[in-house]
Amino acid sequence: MIRIDSVTKRYPDGTVAVDQLSLEIPDRSITVLVGPSGCGKTTTLRMINRMVEPSEGTILLDDVDIQQQPVNTLRRSMGYVIQNAGLFQHRTILDNIATVPRMLGWGKEKSRARARELMERVGLDGALAKRYPYQLSGGQQQRVGVARALAADPPVLLMDEPFSAVDPVVRKGLQDELLRIQEELGKTIVFVTHDIDEAVKLGTMVAVMRTGGKLAQFAPPAELLTHPADEFVEDFLGADRGIRRLSFFPSAGLELLTEPLVAVDATAEQITAAATADVPYLLVTDPDGKPLGWGEPQDLTAGEIETDRLLPYGRPFVTATDSLRAALDCAVLSPTGWAVAVDTEGRATGVVSQQTIGEAIRGAHAERRAHDGKVAEAGEPGTAGTAGTTEKVAP
Ligand SMILES: Nc1ncnc2c1ncn2[C@@H]1O[C@H](COP(=O)(O)OP(=O)(O)OP(=O)(O)O)[C@@H](O)[C@H]1O
């Protein structure tokens, strides 16, 4: 665990970048520092590896004051990833990743073998090993940056806006990859961003900082979205925090209707039977059970439904992994107003209306309030709103 205890950083020109900051950064999870430009995120991160020394206060790593450790030993235990990756332009990708093991005195072959292993781990094609950084895309370079930081297997990873310079699609890929790697490796990650969506997606804990280097709130993302500490945090979270909060409610409990599902070769009886369900459209599926599109019962030809006349079904949601937010999004985008649920193989498992999803949302909120009430009654300090729905589901 990293404990930041009443830390202040005053730069020589008098700027107070961080003001009396206290944070307990839990082990083996991702803690995100988020806030507007200039609020002291980078300064805080750099104080953890002593690139910047605090003016006041202490930082403890596993209960040991980091000032007690030689700087080099400390930095060896901390991988560091920055925006634009900061790669050595004159070294190949493989040698970039092998940098720290080489510095630690590992042999060339062992270091390169480790670098190859890391390339695979961060999703880089081994064929890129001999290229130079300028021959890679921005997203690929960021992956190299992450691989390089992980090369000596440090317990702590410090990441300063590592994905800010890439486009939103690549960025999403890098975020997903980081979550996957974290699941495998269980590092203690401190991640700086100014993007609240990134913070909510990646953080187990999120520290919202305000200008002047003060902590505004430190909480798991679901609690942040439910109980912002004040107006500043509320504004910073943005107008759609209600919708975003739905990312923390699983869609697994939604009541799905299976009657309106008909196979593409359905008989007249099957179509008639399906049409008795209280749904204006039927969902036609292929022989594997995968959705093809929506059709009104009277337009469907028994025996061989004409698939090119069907309405598109939009994007389905996966009940096993997706959230209520994803289900709602599917229903809103669907031309029929009904969302299509699928299993992990993409086979339709049922359909659900906007109304049913709305009821599930109300139910989830009520359950949450009841839970918060119970926690408050039990007098558990600081835990109100943290349990129950803090598990991440796909947004
Ligand atoms: N070396 C320095 N000397 C003087 N002031 C500094 C120095 N480095 C940073 N600052 C100031 O300290 C404050 C905090 O800077 P810091 O880089 O930590 O913020 P940040 O939240 O990471 O910002 P951004 O999101 O824009 O990167 C800013 O007002 C900045 O101008």
User: Could you tell me the mean pLDDT of each successive run of 10 residues in the chain, 395 residues long?
Assistant: 96 95 95 95 96 96 93 90 84 92 87 91 90 91 90 92 85 89 92 93 96 95 91 89 88 92 93 83 94 92 88 92 94 92 96 93 80 64 39 58
Which of 39, 82, 84, 209 to probe ligand 1 with, by most ligand atoms within 8 A of CB?
39
Closest atom, ligand 1, to C-alpha of 45:
18
Q: Cα separation of 186 and 289, whole Å?
A: 38
Distance in Å from the first CA to the final CA of the chain: 28
The residue whose CA is least distant from atom 10 of ligand 1 is: 17
Distance 38 CA to ligand 1 centre (A): 5
Closest atom, ligand 1, to C-alpha of 43:
18
Own/partner long-range contacts of 216-225 (Cβ < 8 Å, ≥24 apart): 216/35, 218/23, 219/386, 220/386, 220/390, 221/248, 221/390, 222/248, 222/385, 222/386, 222/389, 222/390, 223/384, 223/385, 223/386, 223/390, 224/200, 225/200
CB 275 within 8 A of CB 348: no
C-beta atoms surrounding 53 within 10 Å:
12
pLDDT digits (tens, 9 = 90+) for 311-321: 999 899 999 89
CB 33 within 8 A of CB 190: yes
Which of 42, 82, 211 to probe ligand 1 with, by most ligand atoms within 8 A of CB?
42
Which of 15, 18, 32, 159 to probe ligand 1 with, by most ligand atoms within 8 A of CB?
15
Q: Cα separation of 281 and 330, whole Å?
A: 16
Largest CA distance in the chain: 83
Question: What CA–CA distances, in Å, run from 68 to 48, 63, 72, 392?
Answer: 13, 11, 12, 37
Where along the chain do the CATH 3.40.50.300 domains lie?
A: 2-243
CB 190 within 8 A of CB 14: no
For helices 138-150 and 108-121, the axis angle rounded to 10 degrees is: 130
**What pLDDT shows up at residue 291?**
96
Q: How many residues does the chain have?
A: 395
Distance 213 CA to ligand 1 centre (A): 9
Strand ranges across the sheet with 317-318: 317-318, 338-342, 348-353
Closest atom, ligand 1, to C-alpha of 52:
1
Where along the chain do the CATH 3.10.580.10 domains lie?
A: 244-395
Closest atom, ligand 1, to C-alpha of 15:
5
Distance 112 CA to ligand 1 centre (A): 37
Distance 233 CA to ligand 1 centre (A): 20
Q: 244-395, superfamily in CATH?
A: CBS-domain (3.10.580.10)
Strands 188-193 and 156-160: parallel
Distance 246 CA to ligand 1 centre (A): 34
Closest atom, ligand 1, to C-alpha of 13:
4
Q: Cα separation of 227 and 213, whole Å?
A: 22
CB 248 within 8 A of CB 389: yes
Task: Work out whether the CA dihedral 307, 308, 310, 315 comes out positive or negative.
Answer: positive
Q: Cα separation of 33 and 206, whole Å?
A: 6
Q: Cα separation of 122 and 304, whole Å?
A: 46
Both tokens of 315, joined, read 């994007």
**What pLDDT shows up at residue 376?**
62
User: Does the complex come out with an ipTM higher than 0.85?
Assistant: yes
**What pLDDT shows up at residue 382?**
40
**What pLDDT shows up at residue 374?**
67
Q: Which residues line ligand 1 (CB under 6 A)?
A: 11, 13, 15, 17, 35, 37-43, 194
Distance 17 CA to ligand 1 centre (A): 6
CATH of domain 2-243: 3.40.50.300
